[in-house]
Structure 1
Amino acid sequence: MLPRVSAVARFLSLTSLFAAGPVAALEFPLPPPGEDIVGQVQVVKAKYEDTFADLGEASDLGYLEMVAANPGVDPWLPGAGTEVILPTRFILPPGPREGIVINIAEYRLYYFPKGKDVVYTYPLGIGREGWGSPVAHTTITAKTPNPGWTPPASIRAEHAADGDPLPAYVPPGPDNPLGPFKFTLGTPGYLIHGSNKKFGIGMRVSHGCFRMLNDNVLELSKLVPVGTSVRILNQPYKFGVSNGKVYLEAHTPLNDNGDPSLADKHTEVINTLLKREDMADQSQLDWDIVREVIASEDGMPVEIAGALPQQGQQPGAVANGADAIAQ
């Protein structure tokens, strides 16, 4: 079993190994079959003028990712010399590693280009409460540089009610909320696009579309062809394997009806785990650490089993695990 230390303490003991400056782009080699984790966590020392929004933009990280990974640090004034964690280590989303996969629970897009053993990943702004982004399996149906914007009637009505009327059409340019490029999705009414507002990437800010930093959407526009598959998930808990060890990554669940109960979170973790056939035997998982990871919701992979079990599921392993996590 793993030693009884907190998930945060376990992580912080490793950060010095990964200290580095901000990365230019998040592109990683794909791990071999049976492995699920890419990247390494980094640590930077903030300058006096830095904010989490600045550091996140420089490192392809969203605002809420930065906040979750750095509890207790002021996101607007970290302070000169403050060590700031850059959570640039990820468990890949479940399912086929092909096309675009969006996990709205982590405000993040993954792109697996055909014929290349790499993955690109970018932060996203997603639909705010009442205008949630869809969970769907769709495709890229069109690519449009320098798009104009015709606001839907529902959005114009909302803005008019707030005393901020919108024109019937917004031409391309710096005032266009779609930024320099848009991808049209097969799910009607939804886009992946740039933005004329940097703040909001990695947050719930849109009317359901997926916002990207302009540099990122322009980079993606050169990589992704029309017809590319797009899977949109809502997966706050991801299990993964690396070097024979089992990891759990937890994000704050999205819910328009208030924060789900702890019991609901535990149930979702168990249901997510049951979908992993390679983890059918859960007798080696450290359920104390699992509970800590769920409670922290810091979005970083944390080891929850020192070695992946090699035998089949033991009788009662799932039930015992569910009981253990609820204690």
Structure 2
Amino acid sequence: MRIRALNALLTWGLLTSASAFATTYDLSANGDTVVQEYVQPEAAVHAEQDETLLDVALRYRMGQMEIVRLNQKVDRWHVKKGELVRLANRRILPDTPHEGITLNLSEYRMYYYPPGGRQVMSFAHGIGRQDWKTPLGKTKIIKKVKDPSWHPPESIRREHAAMGDPLPEVVPPGPHNPLGAYALYLNLPGDYRIHGTDIDKIYGIGMQITHGCVRMYPEDIEALYRHAEVGTPVYIVKQPIKVGWLDNTLYIEAHPDLEGEEMSQDQRYAFALDLIRKATQEEMPDFDQKALNQALHVLDGEPTPIYERLPSLEQEQPAAMPREAGGAGSGSGSGSPGGYYHGS
């Protein structure tokens, strides 16, 4: 516990000046799919004042459910001044091509791969609720609009009218427009968009509450709007369990089921085992059973190490060869064996 507390305090020194915008990660040259923002494995901050977890999430551009899962013993609505709050640090990239945009609905998070293949940007987002599900599959951006007007569909107008909150036929641009200041239109039937949010619903980022669109923080949608061009591919997936490598260690990341869906523990375990076998290329890998069970029970979205493999000969050789041997065999250390779990 003392070591964990020390790590948290050391990391806190790094986080106090953290950017309030989307996190950009460098992609590994050897194919590792676990990305990391801070040096310490565990990232945390002390609450600046009496506040809520939602306030901390907004400050660090995390989604509401994301920060709640990481802090299951912290009162969502009353974080005391000085109380330690865990933040996301490591993430496992979804199993999709490393191009364009990936929306992993299960973790309420987006991954954007700028052209060049060297980095990935990550953003929190909200998704469609149980009766207005965000569709899955591959699509693309077909239109970009700044300061969009919202024309609520008749079905949504009826819903709001029944709740005593009638909507006009057109909501003009402005702070109370649910689309926010930017919208990226997707090539899907039903007018689905990736868009910003109005000031009334900013704490709903990272929740399952929209009518099917993907909702982002104002600063994040502005950044995505600037970077993503018309024609950018968009992969919409649902991957509650992911595995990935970092420095010859295999990690697993597990998230709860979305509203209206249910996977039993046996199903979750079998699914995780299939991913582990695929990543290790072993029929019965000797993984850490206790760590796997804990990750599948807690479901906090924190990547957990479960398996370690021997480094390849090319990775070991530079450290083992004496300096006077010259340049022969002094590779970059990127020749790791196959079995990486990613979609590129």
Q: How does the TM-score come out when normalised to structure 1?
A: 0.86
1:33 corresponds to 2:34: no
- Measured against aligned partners, the alpha-carbon deviations of 1:107-165 in whole angstroms (never above 9, x if no partner) come to 00000011151111000011112111111100011000000000011111211222221
Q: Distance in 1 between matches of 2:282 and 2:211?
A: 39
- Measured against aligned partners, the alpha-carbon deviations of 1:34-88 in whole angstroms (never above 9, x if no partner) come to 3011123421001223321121112121111111111110122110111111113
Q: CA RMSD in A?
A: 2.1
Aligned to 2:265: 262
1:249 corresponds to 2:263: no
Q: Percent identity?
A: 36
1:239 corresponds to 2:243: yes
Structure 1 unaligned segments of length 5 or more: list them.
1-7, 311-327
Aligned partners of 1:45 and 1:82 also within 8 Å: yes
Q: CA separation of 1:98/1:107 partners in 2, compared to 1, >3 Å: closer, same or farther? A: same
SS of match in other structure, 1:101? strand
Aligned partners of 1:11 and 1:302 also within 8 Å: no
Aligned partners of 1:251 and 1:299 also within 8 Å: yes
- Measured against aligned partners, the alpha-carbon deviations of 1:271-321 in whole angstroms (never above 9, x if no partner) come to 4445x35443542211221111000101111100132698xxxxxxxxxxx
Q: CA separation of 1:13/1:81 partners in 2, compared to 1, >3 Å: closer, same or farther? A: closer
Aligned to 1:292: 294
How many residues are aligned here?
301
Aligned partners of 1:48 and 1:77 also within 8 Å: no
Q: Distance in 2 between matches of 1:250 and 1:9?
A: 26
Aligned to 2:215: 211
Aligned to 2:193: 191
Q: Distance in 1 between matches of 2:51 and 2:284?
A: 43
Task: Out of 280-289 and 15-24, give the one that drifted further.
Answer: 15-24
Q: CA separation of 1:291/1:299 partners in 2, compared to 1, >3 Å: closer, same or farther? A: same
Aligned partners of 1:246 and 1:308 also within 8 Å: no
Q: Distance in 1 between matches of 2:276 and 2:3?
A: 22
Q: What amino acid is aligned across from residue 235 of structure 1 in structure 2?
A: Q
Structure showing greater Rg: 2
Structure 2 unaligned segments of length 5 or more: list them.
313-344
Q: Distance in 1 between matches of 2:306 and 2:4?
A: 12
Q: Distance in 1 between matches of 2:5 and 2:236?
A: 32
Q: Distance in 2 between matches of 1:126 and 1:171?
A: 23
SS of match in other structure, 2:202? coil
Q: Distance in 1 between matches of 2:187 and 2:308?
A: 43
Q: Distance in 1 between matches of 2:233 and 2:310?
A: 32
Aligned partners of 2:96 and 2:235 also within 8 Å: no
Q: How does the TM-score come out when normalised to structure 2?
A: 0.82
Q: What amino acid is aligned across from residue 268 of structure 2 in structure 1?
A: K
Q: What amino acid is aligned across from residue 105 of structure 1 in structure 2?
A: S
Aligned partners of 1:245 and 1:308 also within 8 Å: no
Report 1:47-58 matches (<5 A).
47-58=48-59
Aligned to 1:103: 104
Q: Distance in 2 between matches of 1:208 and 1:9?
A: 45
Q: Distance in 1 between matches of 2:206 and 2:163?
A: 24
Q: Distance in 2 between matches of 1:166 and 1:12?
A: 50
